[in-house]
Amino acid sequence: MKVFKFGGASVKDAAAVKNVSAILARYPNQKLLVVVSAMGKTTNKLEELVSALYAQDYRIYAGLLDELKAYHYDIAAGLFAEKHFHIYQELEDIFEHLSQLFVKPLADNRSFQYDQLVAYGELISSKILAAFLKDQRFSSAWLDAKTLIRTDNNYQQAQVDWDKTNELCKQHILPLLKEVDIAVTQGFIGHTAEGFTTTLGREGSDYTAGILAYCCEAESVTIWKDVPGMLNADPKYFEQTQLLSQISFKEAIELSYYGASVIHPKTVQPLQQKNIALYVRSFIDPEAPGTTISANADRDHHIPSYIVKFKQVLVTFSTKDFSFIAEKQLAEIFAALASMKANINLMQNSALNFSVLIDHHQIDVDNAKALLGAKYHIRYNENLELVTIRHYNDAILAEMSANKTCLVLQKTRTTARLVLQTH
Protein backbone atom coordinates (compact mmCIF):
# COMPACT_ATOMS: atom_id res chain seq x y z
CA MET A 1 0.00 0.00 0.00
CA LYS A 2 1.12 3.52 -0.82
CA VAL A 3 0.12 6.70 0.97
CA PHE A 4 -0.51 9.78 -1.20
CA LYS A 5 -0.94 13.20 0.34
CA PHE A 6 -2.58 16.00 -1.61
CA GLY A 7 -2.33 19.51 -0.13
CA GLY A 8 -4.73 22.44 -0.42
CA ALA A 9 -3.25 23.75 -3.67
CA SER A 10 -3.74 20.38 -5.38
CA VAL A 11 -7.51 20.53 -4.81
CA LYS A 12 -8.07 24.27 -5.04
CA ASP A 13 -10.64 24.13 -7.86
CA ALA A 14 -12.54 21.64 -9.99
CA ALA A 15 -9.72 21.35 -12.55
CA ALA A 16 -7.28 20.59 -9.73
CA VAL A 17 -9.54 17.84 -8.34
CA LYS A 18 -9.75 16.35 -11.84
CA ASN A 19 -5.96 16.45 -11.98
CA VAL A 20 -5.80 14.50 -8.71
CA SER A 21 -8.04 11.83 -10.19
CA ALA A 22 -5.82 11.75 -13.31
CA ILE A 23 -2.79 11.16 -11.06
CA LEU A 24 -4.60 8.35 -9.24
CA ALA A 25 -5.51 6.79 -12.59
CA ARG A 26 -1.79 6.33 -13.21
CA TYR A 27 -1.75 3.70 -10.46
CA PRO A 28 -4.32 1.12 -11.58
CA ASN A 29 -5.00 -1.83 -9.28
CA GLN A 30 -2.78 -0.47 -6.54
CA LYS A 31 -3.80 0.02 -2.95
CA LEU A 32 -3.70 3.74 -2.20
CA LEU A 33 -4.47 5.60 0.99
CA VAL A 34 -5.17 9.20 -0.04
CA VAL A 35 -4.80 11.94 2.57
CA VAL A 36 -6.26 15.28 1.55
CA SER A 37 -6.05 18.81 2.99
CA ALA A 38 -8.72 21.47 2.96
CA MET A 39 -9.25 23.07 -0.46
CA GLY A 40 -7.12 26.11 -1.32
CA LYS A 41 -7.07 28.63 1.50
CA THR A 42 -10.10 27.19 3.31
CA THR A 43 -8.28 26.67 6.63
CA ASN A 44 -7.37 30.37 6.83
CA LYS A 45 -11.00 31.27 6.18
CA LEU A 46 -12.17 28.86 8.87
CA GLU A 47 -9.74 30.48 11.30
CA GLU A 48 -11.37 33.81 10.50
CA LEU A 49 -14.71 32.15 11.12
CA VAL A 50 -13.57 31.14 14.62
CA SER A 51 -12.55 34.75 15.29
CA ALA A 52 -15.93 36.03 14.10
CA LEU A 53 -17.63 33.46 16.32
CA TYR A 54 -15.75 34.63 19.40
CA ALA A 55 -16.28 38.26 18.47
CA GLN A 56 -19.98 37.34 18.12
CA ASP A 57 -20.00 39.30 14.88
CA TYR A 58 -22.84 37.75 12.90
CA ARG A 59 -22.33 39.88 9.83
CA ILE A 60 -18.74 38.71 9.38
CA TYR A 61 -19.57 35.13 10.39
CA ALA A 62 -22.40 34.84 7.89
CA GLY A 63 -20.35 36.55 5.19
CA LEU A 64 -17.43 34.15 5.61
CA LEU A 65 -19.74 31.18 5.65
CA ASP A 66 -21.41 32.34 2.42
CA GLU A 67 -18.01 32.71 0.82
CA LEU A 68 -16.93 29.23 1.89
CA LYS A 69 -20.19 27.77 0.72
CA ALA A 70 -20.02 29.48 -2.67
CA TYR A 71 -16.41 28.37 -3.11
CA HIS A 72 -17.13 24.70 -2.43
CA TYR A 73 -20.40 24.67 -4.38
CA ASP A 74 -18.59 26.14 -7.33
CA ILE A 75 -16.04 23.31 -7.19
CA ALA A 76 -18.84 20.75 -6.87
CA ALA A 77 -20.61 22.31 -9.85
CA GLY A 78 -17.44 21.86 -11.92
CA LEU A 79 -17.26 18.17 -10.96
CA PHE A 80 -20.79 16.82 -10.77
CA ALA A 81 -23.23 17.20 -13.60
CA GLU A 82 -26.31 16.24 -11.65
CA LYS A 83 -27.64 18.78 -9.19
CA HIS A 84 -29.36 16.14 -7.07
CA PHE A 85 -26.10 14.24 -6.54
CA HIS A 86 -25.85 13.20 -2.85
CA ILE A 87 -22.77 15.36 -2.23
CA TYR A 88 -24.93 18.48 -2.44
CA GLN A 89 -27.08 17.22 0.40
CA GLU A 90 -23.95 16.49 2.46
CA LEU A 91 -22.63 19.99 1.82
CA GLU A 92 -26.00 21.45 2.68
CA ASP A 93 -26.01 19.60 6.02
CA ILE A 94 -22.48 20.72 6.87
CA PHE A 95 -23.12 24.39 6.11
CA GLU A 96 -26.41 24.28 7.98
CA HIS A 97 -24.58 22.90 11.01
CA LEU A 98 -21.91 25.62 10.77
CA SER A 99 -24.55 28.28 10.49
CA GLN A 100 -26.38 26.95 13.61
CA LEU A 101 -23.12 27.00 15.55
CA PHE A 102 -23.31 30.77 15.82
CA VAL A 103 -26.33 30.70 18.13
CA LYS A 104 -25.02 27.86 20.30
CA PRO A 105 -23.13 28.56 23.55
CA LEU A 106 -19.43 29.24 23.01
CA ALA A 107 -16.89 26.84 24.47
CA ASP A 108 -14.64 28.45 27.10
CA ASN A 109 -11.74 26.62 25.57
CA ARG A 110 -11.28 28.41 22.28
CA SER A 111 -8.77 25.84 21.03
CA PHE A 112 -11.38 23.14 21.55
CA GLN A 113 -13.90 25.13 19.54
CA TYR A 114 -11.26 25.87 16.89
CA ASP A 115 -10.64 22.18 16.31
CA GLN A 116 -14.34 21.28 16.15
CA LEU A 117 -14.85 23.97 13.52
CA VAL A 118 -11.64 24.18 11.49
CA ALA A 119 -11.62 20.41 10.84
CA TYR A 120 -14.59 20.94 8.50
CA GLY A 121 -12.18 22.10 5.79
CA GLU A 122 -10.70 18.64 5.47
CA LEU A 123 -14.06 16.97 5.96
CA ILE A 124 -15.55 18.85 3.01
CA SER A 125 -12.58 18.37 0.69
CA SER A 126 -12.38 14.64 1.39
CA LYS A 127 -16.12 14.25 0.82
CA ILE A 128 -15.92 16.05 -2.52
CA LEU A 129 -12.86 14.13 -3.68
CA ALA A 130 -14.29 10.78 -2.59
CA ALA A 131 -17.60 11.50 -4.32
CA PHE A 132 -15.77 12.49 -7.51
CA LEU A 133 -13.66 9.34 -7.52
CA LYS A 134 -16.76 7.19 -7.04
CA ASP A 135 -18.46 9.05 -9.85
CA GLN A 136 -15.42 8.36 -12.04
CA ARG A 137 -15.80 4.63 -11.26
CA PHE A 138 -12.67 4.28 -9.17
CA SER A 139 -12.84 1.42 -6.69
CA SER A 140 -12.80 3.80 -3.74
CA ALA A 141 -14.30 4.77 -0.38
CA TRP A 142 -14.35 7.71 2.04
CA LEU A 143 -12.70 7.03 5.39
CA ASP A 144 -13.24 9.09 8.55
CA ALA A 145 -9.89 10.20 10.00
CA LYS A 146 -11.60 10.50 13.37
CA THR A 147 -11.69 6.71 13.51
CA LEU A 148 -7.93 6.53 12.92
CA ILE A 149 -5.74 9.01 14.79
CA ARG A 150 -6.16 9.03 18.56
CA THR A 151 -4.63 12.01 20.33
CA ASP A 152 -4.54 13.71 23.71
CA ASN A 153 -6.76 16.73 24.32
CA ASN A 154 -4.11 19.34 23.64
CA TYR A 155 -6.38 21.08 21.12
CA GLN A 156 -4.74 22.74 18.09
CA GLN A 157 -1.46 20.89 18.78
CA ALA A 158 -2.69 17.42 19.66
CA GLN A 159 -0.12 14.74 20.44
CA VAL A 160 -0.58 11.28 18.94
CA ASP A 161 -1.32 8.23 21.09
CA TRP A 162 0.74 5.84 18.99
CA ASP A 163 -0.42 2.54 20.49
CA LYS A 164 -4.09 3.31 20.12
CA THR A 165 -3.60 4.86 16.65
CA ASN A 166 -1.71 1.79 15.54
CA GLU A 167 -4.55 -0.44 16.66
CA LEU A 168 -7.22 1.76 15.03
CA CYS A 169 -5.37 2.00 11.72
CA LYS A 170 -4.95 -1.77 11.52
CA GLN A 171 -8.61 -2.18 12.38
CA HIS A 172 -10.02 0.34 9.88
CA ILE A 173 -7.62 0.89 6.99
CA LEU A 174 -6.35 -2.56 6.12
CA PRO A 175 -9.78 -4.27 5.86
CA LEU A 176 -11.15 -1.37 3.82
CA LEU A 177 -8.26 -1.61 1.37
CA LYS A 178 -9.10 -5.28 0.87
CA GLU A 179 -12.49 -4.19 -0.45
CA VAL A 180 -11.51 -1.12 -2.47
CA ASP A 181 -8.32 0.15 -4.09
CA ILE A 182 -8.44 3.74 -2.89
CA ALA A 183 -9.40 5.04 0.55
CA VAL A 184 -9.75 8.83 0.87
CA THR A 185 -9.26 10.34 4.30
CA GLN A 186 -8.60 13.73 5.89
CA GLY A 187 -5.23 15.12 6.88
CA PHE A 188 -4.73 17.27 9.98
CA ILE A 189 -7.50 15.65 12.06
CA GLY A 190 -7.46 13.39 15.10
CA HIS A 191 -9.82 12.58 17.93
CA THR A 192 -9.70 12.26 21.70
CA ALA A 193 -10.77 9.20 23.68
CA GLU A 194 -14.12 10.98 24.25
CA GLY A 195 -14.56 11.36 20.48
CA PHE A 196 -13.91 15.11 20.17
CA THR A 197 -12.10 16.35 17.11
CA THR A 198 -8.51 17.51 17.50
CA THR A 199 -6.04 18.97 15.02
CA LEU A 200 -2.34 18.29 14.69
CA GLY A 201 -1.16 21.88 14.11
CA ARG A 202 -1.24 24.01 10.96
CA GLU A 203 0.06 22.27 7.85
CA GLY A 204 -0.34 19.00 9.73
CA SER A 205 -1.67 16.91 6.83
CA ASP A 206 1.82 15.78 5.84
CA TYR A 207 2.20 14.52 9.37
CA THR A 208 -1.08 12.57 9.04
CA ALA A 209 0.40 10.83 5.98
CA GLY A 210 3.51 9.95 8.03
CA ILE A 211 1.45 8.64 10.97
CA LEU A 212 -0.83 6.48 8.82
CA ALA A 213 2.08 5.11 6.78
CA TYR A 214 3.91 4.21 9.97
CA CYS A 215 0.92 2.43 11.48
CA CYS A 216 0.03 0.54 8.28
CA GLU A 217 3.65 -0.16 7.37
CA ALA A 218 3.07 1.41 3.98
CA GLU A 219 5.57 0.86 1.20
CA SER A 220 6.02 4.60 0.62
CA VAL A 221 4.55 8.06 1.10
CA THR A 222 4.23 10.54 -1.73
CA ILE A 223 3.53 14.20 -1.03
CA TRP A 224 2.17 15.77 -4.23
CA LYS A 225 3.06 19.46 -4.36
CA ASP A 226 3.08 22.45 -6.68
CA VAL A 227 6.89 22.45 -6.68
CA PRO A 228 9.12 19.92 -8.49
CA GLY A 229 10.33 18.44 -5.18
CA MET A 230 12.57 19.65 -2.39
CA LEU A 231 14.76 22.46 -3.61
CA ASN A 232 18.02 23.57 -2.07
CA ALA A 233 16.62 27.07 -1.44
CA ASP A 234 13.33 28.92 -1.56
CA PRO A 235 12.78 30.17 -5.14
CA LYS A 236 11.03 33.23 -3.70
CA TYR A 237 14.39 34.51 -2.48
CA PHE A 238 16.99 32.72 -4.60
CA GLU A 239 17.34 33.08 -8.35
CA GLN A 240 19.03 29.78 -8.92
CA THR A 241 17.69 26.77 -7.14
CA GLN A 242 18.49 23.11 -7.58
CA LEU A 243 16.37 20.04 -7.00
CA LEU A 244 17.55 17.77 -4.20
CA SER A 245 16.84 14.51 -6.02
CA GLN A 246 17.95 12.21 -3.23
CA ILE A 247 18.48 13.02 0.44
CA SER A 248 18.51 11.06 3.68
CA PHE A 249 15.85 11.12 6.40
CA LYS A 250 18.38 12.79 8.65
CA GLU A 251 19.08 15.54 6.13
CA ALA A 252 15.34 16.14 5.61
CA ILE A 253 14.80 16.42 9.37
CA GLU A 254 17.71 18.86 9.66
CA LEU A 255 16.43 20.99 6.78
CA SER A 256 12.92 21.19 8.17
CA TYR A 257 14.27 21.93 11.65
CA TYR A 258 16.12 24.95 10.30
CA GLY A 259 12.98 26.15 8.55
CA ALA A 260 12.75 24.58 5.07
CA SER A 261 8.99 24.61 4.63
CA VAL A 262 8.38 21.99 1.95
CA ILE A 263 7.39 19.26 4.38
CA HIS A 264 5.94 19.49 7.87
CA PRO A 265 8.80 18.97 10.35
CA LYS A 266 7.19 16.05 12.20
CA THR A 267 6.49 14.02 9.06
CA VAL A 268 9.85 12.38 8.50
CA GLN A 269 10.53 10.92 11.94
CA PRO A 270 7.89 8.12 11.88
CA LEU A 271 8.95 7.21 8.33
CA GLN A 272 12.59 7.05 9.30
CA GLN A 273 11.65 4.70 12.17
CA LYS A 274 10.22 2.16 9.76
CA ASN A 275 12.42 2.96 6.80
CA ILE A 276 9.48 4.04 4.61
CA ALA A 277 10.60 6.12 1.64
CA LEU A 278 9.11 9.58 1.23
CA TYR A 279 8.72 11.08 -2.22
CA VAL A 280 8.01 14.76 -2.84
CA ARG A 281 6.61 15.14 -6.35
CA SER A 282 4.89 17.66 -8.55
CA PHE A 283 1.17 17.30 -9.19
CA ILE A 284 1.67 19.62 -12.16
CA ASP A 285 4.27 17.32 -13.71
CA PRO A 286 3.54 13.83 -12.39
CA GLU A 287 6.06 12.24 -14.77
CA ALA A 288 8.94 14.02 -13.05
CA PRO A 289 10.78 12.00 -10.41
CA GLY A 290 10.92 14.72 -7.71
CA THR A 291 12.79 14.13 -4.46
CA THR A 292 13.37 10.79 -2.78
CA ILE A 293 13.94 10.86 0.97
CA SER A 294 15.24 7.57 2.33
CA ALA A 295 17.93 6.04 4.52
CA ASN A 296 20.49 6.61 1.74
CA ALA A 297 22.80 9.50 2.71
CA ASP A 298 25.24 9.18 -0.20
CA ARG A 299 24.20 12.39 -1.91
CA ASP A 300 23.46 14.57 1.12
CA HIS A 301 26.59 16.63 0.74
CA HIS A 302 26.40 17.09 -3.04
CA ILE A 303 24.40 20.30 -3.06
CA PRO A 304 24.54 23.06 -0.43
CA SER A 305 21.11 24.06 0.93
CA TYR A 306 20.09 27.53 2.08
CA ILE A 307 17.39 28.42 4.57
CA VAL A 308 16.67 32.04 5.38
CA LYS A 309 14.57 33.45 8.19
CA PHE A 310 13.77 37.13 7.98
CA LYS A 311 12.64 39.63 10.63
CA GLN A 312 14.87 38.30 13.37
CA VAL A 313 15.68 40.12 16.59
CA LEU A 314 18.96 39.51 18.41
CA VAL A 315 18.40 40.18 22.10
CA THR A 316 21.46 40.45 24.33
CA PHE A 317 21.33 40.13 28.11
CA SER A 318 24.28 41.31 30.21
CA THR A 319 24.50 41.18 33.97
CA LYS A 320 24.34 44.60 35.62
CA ASP A 321 26.81 43.63 38.35
CA PHE A 322 29.38 42.21 35.94
CA SER A 323 28.90 38.69 37.27
CA PHE A 324 29.28 35.84 34.79
CA ILE A 325 26.36 34.50 32.86
CA ALA A 326 26.24 30.97 34.24
CA GLU A 327 23.67 28.20 34.63
CA LYS A 328 21.58 30.05 37.21
CA GLN A 329 21.29 33.18 35.07
CA LEU A 330 20.60 31.12 31.95
CA ALA A 331 17.81 29.27 33.76
CA GLU A 332 16.26 32.60 34.71
CA ILE A 333 16.45 33.98 31.17
CA PHE A 334 15.09 30.77 29.60
CA ALA A 335 12.18 30.73 32.06
CA ALA A 336 11.27 34.31 31.15
CA LEU A 337 11.49 33.57 27.41
CA ALA A 338 9.42 30.41 27.82
CA SER A 339 6.76 32.37 29.69
CA MET A 340 6.61 34.72 26.69
CA LYS A 341 6.36 31.71 24.33
CA ALA A 342 9.41 32.94 22.44
CA ASN A 343 11.20 30.23 20.42
CA ILE A 344 14.94 30.63 20.25
CA ASN A 345 16.37 30.21 16.75
CA LEU A 346 19.99 30.54 17.80
CA MET A 347 21.96 31.48 20.92
CA GLN A 348 25.46 32.57 21.83
CA ASN A 349 27.17 33.36 25.09
CA SER A 350 30.32 34.99 26.43
CA ALA A 351 31.44 35.77 29.98
CA LEU A 352 29.10 38.72 30.45
CA ASN A 353 26.64 38.47 27.57
CA PHE A 354 24.01 36.03 26.47
CA SER A 355 22.30 36.57 23.12
CA VAL A 356 19.26 34.91 21.62
CA LEU A 357 17.83 35.23 18.14
CA ILE A 358 14.04 35.19 17.96
CA ASP A 359 11.35 35.82 15.34
CA HIS A 360 10.25 39.43 15.62
CA HIS A 361 6.58 38.58 16.20
CA GLN A 362 7.43 36.30 19.11
CA ILE A 363 9.26 38.77 21.30
CA ASP A 364 8.15 41.90 23.05
CA VAL A 365 11.32 43.54 24.31
CA ASP A 366 9.42 45.75 26.78
CA ASN A 367 7.95 42.64 28.29
CA ALA A 368 11.42 41.06 28.52
CA LYS A 369 12.66 44.23 30.23
CA ALA A 370 9.80 44.08 32.71
CA LEU A 371 10.68 40.48 33.55
CA LEU A 372 14.47 40.67 33.58
CA GLY A 373 15.39 44.36 33.55
CA ALA A 374 16.21 44.51 37.25
CA LYS A 375 19.24 42.24 36.89
CA TYR A 376 20.19 42.56 33.23
CA HIS A 377 20.94 45.23 30.70
CA ILE A 378 18.93 44.28 27.64
CA ARG A 379 19.96 45.46 24.19
CA TYR A 380 18.62 44.36 20.85
CA ASN A 381 19.11 44.54 17.09
CA GLU A 382 16.10 44.28 14.83
CA ASN A 383 15.50 43.41 11.20
CA LEU A 384 18.17 40.77 10.93
CA GLU A 385 18.34 37.70 8.72
CA LEU A 386 19.29 34.25 9.86
CA VAL A 387 20.89 32.27 7.05
CA THR A 388 21.51 28.57 7.60
CA ILE A 389 23.67 26.76 5.06
CA ARG A 390 23.99 23.00 5.04
CA HIS A 391 27.16 21.70 3.37
CA TYR A 392 28.70 25.14 3.10
CA ASN A 393 32.14 26.18 1.94
CA ASP A 394 34.14 29.38 2.47
CA ALA A 395 33.18 30.87 -0.89
CA ILE A 396 29.49 30.51 0.00
CA LEU A 397 29.98 32.17 3.37
CA ALA A 398 31.79 35.09 1.77
CA GLU A 399 29.11 35.46 -0.88
CA MET A 400 26.24 35.35 1.60
CA SER A 401 27.74 37.99 3.87
CA ALA A 402 28.89 40.35 1.07
CA ASN A 403 27.71 43.93 1.73
CA LYS A 404 26.22 42.86 5.04
CA THR A 405 27.45 42.90 8.61
CA CYS A 406 27.75 39.46 10.14
CA LEU A 407 26.77 39.75 13.82
CA VAL A 408 27.08 36.07 14.62
CA LEU A 409 28.68 33.16 12.77
CA GLN A 410 28.35 29.62 14.05
CA LYS A 411 29.77 26.61 12.29
CA THR A 412 29.71 22.86 12.67
CA ARG A 413 31.26 20.54 10.11
CA THR A 414 28.07 20.43 8.06
CA THR A 415 26.15 23.56 8.97
CA ALA A 416 26.96 27.27 9.08
CA ARG A 417 24.58 29.83 10.53
CA LEU A 418 24.96 33.56 9.98
CA VAL A 419 23.08 36.40 11.57
CA LEU A 420 23.23 39.22 9.05
CA GLN A 421 22.38 42.88 9.12
CA THR A 422 21.68 44.70 5.87
CA HIS A 423 22.69 48.34 5.61
Contacts of 130 (CB under 8 A, 6+ apart): 140, 141, 142, 184
- Interface stretch with ligand ASP, choices 126-134, 203-211, 251-259, 383-391 (CB under 6 A): 203-211
Q: How far apart are CA 377 and CA 340, in angstroms?
A: 18
**Rounded CA separation 270/217 (Å):** 10
Q: Which of residues 204, 228, 265, 270 is near ligand ASP by CB under 6 A?
A: 204
- Total residues contacting ligand ASP by CB under 6 A comes to 12
Q: Which is nearer to ligand ASP, 8 or 229 (CB)?
A: 8
User: What is the C-alpha separation between 240 and 242, in angstroms, rounded?
Assistant: 7
Binding residues for Mg ion restricted to 24-83, rule: CB under 5 A: 37, 43
- Which helix (H) or strand (E) segment holds residue 123: the answer is helix 120-135
Angle between helices 14-25 and 120-135 (to 10 degrees): 60
**How many Å apart are CA 104 and CA 97, to the nearest integer?**
11
- Rule CB under 6 A: say whether 188 interacts with ligand ASP: yes
Ranges of beta strands (E only) in 104-206 are: 140-142, 182-186, 189-191, 197-199
Nearer to ligand ASP, 37 or 151 (CB): 37
* Three state DSSP letters for 369-399: HHHHCCCEEEEEEEEEEEEEEECCCHHHHHH
Q: Which of residues 114-133 bind ligand ASP (CB under 6 A)?
A: 121
Query: Which stretch in 36-44, 132-140, 283-291, 298-306 sits in contact with ligand ASP by CB under 6 A?
Result: 36-44
The rounded Cα 127 to chain-centroid distance in angstroms is: 22
Closer residue to Mg ion in complex, CB, 145/386: 145
One-letter amino acid of 173: I
Closer CB to ligand ASP, 17 or 333, in the complex: 17
Tell me how far, at minimum, the Cβ of 202 lies from ligand ASP, in Å: 4
Query: Would you count residue 228 as binding ligand ASP (CB under 6 A)?
Result: no
Q: Choose between 37 and 199: whose C-beta lies nearer to Mg ion.
A: 37
Q: Which residue is nearest to ligand ASP (CB)?
A: 205
Binding site for ligand ASP (CB under 6 A): 7-8, 37-38, 43, 121, 187-188, 202-205
Binding site for Mg ion (CB under 5 A): 8, 37, 43
